Structure 1
Amino acid sequence: MNIREVVTEADLHDVFPVLQQLRTKISREEASSLFQKMKEENYKLLSLQNEDDEVVCLAGVAICTNFYNEKHVFVYDLVTAEAHRSKGYGKVLLSYVEKWGREKGCSSIVLTSAFPRVDAHRFYEREGYDKVSYSFYKEL
């Protein structure tokens, strides 16, 4: 297994089919445009390749600081390719993100997950994550 940072447009093109399994409404063009802006805001997209060099899992993360979580890793995106779920890839990549966050001086890792994603909630709870709040959203 190999973990790499997605940096270039070509890298993003290679991982897009997996990303689209989580972000189903986004086009390649939108993803490309947003990715450039997100990188400017310290977003990192990490890719896990299996032994056959297939992209099997992605994590989109950023280090943030605020009054309630102090310095922390925020996980914006975490997805394992549907054909490769329940093989431990998500656990491997999330563990890598946790280690990376510790090395960067973060005190916690934070994420949100939509209500219908019950399997994802079970996964996070198995990995030691607690449900601590609701996330609210309002379109502007």
Structure 2
Amino acid sequence: MNPEHIKECTTIEELMTAFPVMKQLRTHLDEAAYLSLIEEAREKDSYRLFALYEGSEIVAVAGFKPMITLYYGRFVWVCDLVTDQTKRSYGYGEKLLNFVHSWAAEAGYERVALSSGLQRTDAHRFYESKMGYDKVSYVFKKEL
């Protein structure tokens, strides 16, 4: 078996290979919408998508973008983080999020931030207890 490794998904083929795992988090997306949104986010927001492989199988994905705001300063916003539902509790999410932390620090960013759906209590426990994140705000949205 090949060892674990993390690789950026840059080609359409790599993005489509990551789609079944991403779909577990972003259930509202079909393949066309997924590709269209990623392409636009990469072009306009410097979005990056990385996959954690166990051998040749993607077991987790993380999408993030570097940002600058007056509130957070220079930071990386984690837009998407999901481990395949059959591979949870093996430490893959932790490894991938630690990769994002390292990427951000090496690129000169001061912090990493994310939001998580109110219903995702297991994810909240993971972020706070395992990864050392602080709960600092609520996120609000309005459909237009």
- Give the TM bin, normalised by the shorter chain: over 0.9
3-state SS of paired residue (1:106): coil
1:113 aligns with 2:116: yes
Residue in structure 1 matched with residue 135 of structure 2 by the alignment: 131
SS of the residue corresponding to residue 82 of structure 2 reads strand
Considering only aligned residues, what root-mean-square deviation do their CA atoms show, in Å? 0.6
Distance 2:10 2:42 in 1: 9
Per the alignment, in what secondary structure is the counterpart of residue 23 of structure 2? helix
Q: Secondary structure at the match of 1:83?
A: coil
What are structure 1's unaligned runs of at least 5 residues? none
| Residue deviations 1:33-82 (CA, integer Å, cap 9, x gap) | 111101112000000001x3210000000100010100001000000000
Q: Please give the residue correspondences for 1:54-65 in structure 2 after superposition, counting only pairs within 5 Å.
A: 54-65=57-68
Correspondence for 1:84:
87
User: 2:11, 2:37 → 1: CA distance?
Assistant: 13
Partner residue of 1:28?
31
TM-score of the superposed pair, with normalisation by structure 2: 0.95
Separation in structure 2 between the aligned mates of residue 31 and residue 10 of structure 1, nearest angstrom: 13
Equivalent position SS for 2:22: helix
Match in the other structure for 2:99: 96
Match of 1:49 in 2: 53
- Secondary structure (helix, strand or coil) at the match of 2:86 reads helix
Q: Structure 2 regions of 5+ residues with no counterpart?
A: none
1:69-80 → structure 2 map (5 Å cutoff):
69-80=72-83
CA distance, structure 2, for counterparts of residue 47 and residue 7 of structure 1: 10
How many residues in Structure 1 have an aligned counterpart in Structure 2?
Answer: 139
Amino acid at match of 1:111: L
